[in-house]
Structure 1
Amino acid sequence: MKKYALNLIFVFMTTAAILLNAYSCFAKDIAFQSSVDKNRVSLGDDIILSLTFTGTQSIPAPDFTNVEGFHAKYIGPSTMVSIINGSMSASITHKYVLIPLKAGKFQVGPVTFKYGSDTYASNILTVEVVEGPVSDNRPIRTAGVPPLKFEDKIFVVMEPQRTQAYLNETIPLKIKLYVNKLPVRDIQLPQFAHDGFSTEALDRPRQYEEIRQGILYDVLEFDTVIFGTRPGISNLGPAELDCVLLEKQRRTGGIFGDDDPFDDFFGKYTAYPLHLKSNQVSMTILPLPEEGKPQNFSGAVGSFDFNLEADPKYVKAGDPVTVKMIVRGDGNLNTVTTPNIGSQDNFKVYDPQFKQEGNTKTFEQVVIPKIETVTEIPAVSFNFFDPAKKQYVTITKGPIPIKVEKSTEREGLKIVEADAISRPLVKKETLGRDIIYIKELPGNLRKKDAYLYKNKLFLLLQSILLLCFIIIVTLNKRRERLKTDIRYARRIRAPKEARNGLKESKKYLSQGKIQNFYDTIFGTLQKYLGDKFHLPSAGITANIIDEVLKNKNIDERVLDELRSIFNECDVARYAPTEVSVEKMQNTFLKLERIIDYLERQKL
């Protein structure tokens, strides 16, 4: 029973470890990138700054209002979900309007902030502000250029590294999806016509930004390698790609008219399938030259290195020796075949085995010296055509000296007597042992072991496992909701952020730092109300009480206290006067009461 219980505990611990490990695998890397829609602007114009987080949709808007040379205003988030052959990737972009205040060159970023236990830092951008109009040869499109047509906002381009190559020469190929400010999802792997070419599988796509003809695009790039299989002129492509375009349906009749700021949160989308086609590329495939072609040339094309190894070097006649031939370099390894070992008269040679890893192809061939007079593994030559040099190259390695000793094993003759063969072996019988009689009655039956499902320890362990599974599923669903539901994530985060702000303001209160205290109180209140009611935190002022909170069934006394906190913060921050410790303490307690009240209400 003790051993049985130990086995159950082992099964429980193993299963729990597997479940916890599976849950930990949900973690993903998060990339942070900043960009602007133009890097040269005139006074009176504005710039859109985008802070993009790839791999999540739960990151809140960073506090990015103090930018040298600019007045910054947060205008809201936009999210994007891409599903490529079943693999989902999500991103969120927080957008800010930057209004230049003076001329000059300014550095925007790096934006650094802490979220949870992670710290994020963006790249540095440089923006030039000029007093006059911006010239037409700038790298980024400005407001004076006509708007793009739809076919210029989303399209596919196929780009081979070169359009002329030799037979079997590898050609890197890029297929790029360009998107300009359009929400796209369900992007499928591109397909392209390649009659006369062989192609490898597409690599995992990579995402980046690119300026093309003065316009900033989001680019999804698919990479592969092709090579021509017949000489002549052939057409490659077009590449075809399917995706889904989301069109936002704006609400009408709202209190804000057509410029309703709540469209970003409550607007609906309509999905439209798109089938995109790229350009077709004419490719010229040249035949391999006949001049200088080695007699035993097998078709290898590229720039390679060759090495020869043998092990062991001390054997007896009849023992195997493994010959390893290693080809590495840049080129078409599919055309590399096993190099031939020289004279094989005194060897028994077996078929080779090969493996390919990256840009290396290794052949292993077993040879067995038949006689002790063998002194070396013959030289091996490997030849290939180098497209860069436009000539054939032959590399010879070896011979490799080995020492073969005379075999000492001898086959002895086994003499078997004919009489022994003719006489069969008879097993001696024991009376009473060769027959088992049928029992008429079963005899006395006794209980051997209890049923497993009636074992209390087993049922307890199963219950614990089921409970662990339910907890893990629940935590995972909550984590996924935090990543995809921004409103929910901000609401959950609001009380924790508020407690941190209260803790910091209490520190300033004890130190008597009036300005820092009211700045922290104001920032905490802004952040808490923004997260609680899913509003842009940077734009929250006392006006929110009448515009948003008055219709939330909040006690009028709480609203009055909110107004008084906003007024006290404004007076302390913009018209500094002496403020008593008792008044600061009163402001602190009012904010604590407001947060506690709002957390207890179902709003």
Structure 2
Amino acid sequence: MNGFFRRFTLLFLGVTVIFAAFGAEKVTFTTKAPMIVAAGDAFRVEFRLNAKPDDDTFEAPDFEGFEVIAGPAVYRGQSMQYVNGSVTNTYEFTYTFVLLPSTPGNYTIGSARIEVDGESHRTQPVPIEVIDEGAQAPGTAQSAPAESEANRQSPAARQKGEVAADDILLRVQLSRTSVYKGEPVLAAIKLYYRIPIVGINEVKFPSFNGFWAQELDVENRPARRETVNGKVYECSVLKEYLLYPQQSGTLAVDPAELTAVAQIVVQNNRSRDPFFGNMPDVYNVDRKLRSQKIPVTVKELPAGAPESFTGAVGRFSMTETPPPAQLAANSAATYTLRISGSGNLRFVQAPKLPLPASFELYDVKSSEQIKTAGSGASGYRQFEYPFIARAEGDYTAGPVEFTYFDPARSQYVTLSGQPLHLTVTPDASGGTGEARIVKGLSKEEVKMLGEDIRFIRSGKPRLVPAGRPLLFSAPYFASLAVMLLAFAGLYTLMRKRIRDSRNSALVRGKRANKVAVQRVRAAGRAMNEQNQYAFYEEMSRALWGYMSDKLNIPVANLTKENVREELAKRGVAAEEAQHFTDIITRCEEAQYSPMASAQMSEVYTRGVEFISRMESLIKKRK
């Protein structure tokens, strides 16, 4: 028994390890440090890893400009989750250092290195600004010796309800401000902040008049640190666009506007809590921001563009897939051209494919695969030229030319394909068929006129009427007469049915036989099952019900004497009435005294014969 549990435990651990390998998260190695620190105040720097590192592989950066007071202190954490048959292991390793800055200025915490399963991982460098707080306003609190808040507030923000002019900035940055017409420009709307931002309201993004704008995806892009005017900020990209100028001259990118809600923490020295000490006050302050209007100089493309230039700007290459060198007359083929590169790729148009006059060129089909990034649009556009060769012979077509403007070299570049040498052989019918030679046209200009174009018949036309119109003809009047007769017959039938439905006695008489037949069938099933009581009950109900419906007498008032009288009034012989009385009497007696199955068969036969005779003897009421 112990061996079974041991094997089961080993199997469970093995499965757990396998699932844990599949459920492992992507390795991330990051740095957490304050953005702003005061000279002389110690602070913490943490290097966080979400996986289990290899032993003795952590390498700390060179903390230039800081004095290392303590560290590294290593924290290890591990948790396991088992959800719906999936096991996920979560690791957390943190290496903590305590640093002491001495001189104000801008410094950078370099990259730390560590290995996980033999693969090296590095953190991103983190800038830190060291400020001098010796002249801070009264009532502001010094930072704690080991403060580790990433968004530590600047001294200007520690005043109650105040936000310094340079604590929050809104900028619109362009990758370039002087471009050629059609050359892409990257526009990024960025929010810089040195204090926590808890909300953004009243957002108004700029309008890009004169540009064709394409928005880029920045939803999952994390914030990063940037240095502006010697100060370190957290920077979040709110929007990013690729702008394609559509006209030359001086264009302007309008300002962006928004209201940022900043959170300010002020140390409260007015009262002291006996247990927790001074509790800070937290304020939310609205700050209206507006970026600058940025002019963009758009240069016109140089004059003298080749005829094959259709507005492509960037750097491109061209590949072609020619059709078969030999094809039959009246057969289809396709020439394929792919233009790859980067630039205003979405505006690239299909180059012209020169073909002989005897070739029919159809609508060009295009497909594309374009990836848009901060550097511009890159990928390819593919064009397919379907055509049909009509006349046989040897032809030379092309070459295809594509011209683009290269802004880096400020000149036009023309790409040329290879000439197409095509041999068109006769088709399956020998190239003749119903083709006609038209004087004044060369062989290359001849069309398959027998198939594509039908000549107008010449000479005196002989028109023969195809037939007389149906209107006012003999078939027309015959059809009207048939429809009128059908309508009259249908109207008479409907009137008769309405009249008969109002006569309840007639209706009951008509359905008497149908109801009786159903009950007799039920009696027959009971007879086959040797159920005497059910058989005689159903036969009795069938006969009484039949006579009630046929003679129009309510069942409650129906007696043997009434039946005799009504049958005599209808001219039915007294013997038939006696037959009915005999059958009813035998049914009533048999319900309370046992009888043989042969008697059931006899009663069944006599009952069916009686109902059949009544249908022919009793005359229907008029």
Normalised to the residue count of structure 1, the TM-score between the two structures is 0.47
Larger radius of gyration: 2
Normalised to the residue count of structure 2, the TM-score between the two structures is 0.46
Q: Which gives a bigger RCO, structure 1 or 2 (Cα 8 Å, sep 6+)?
A: 1
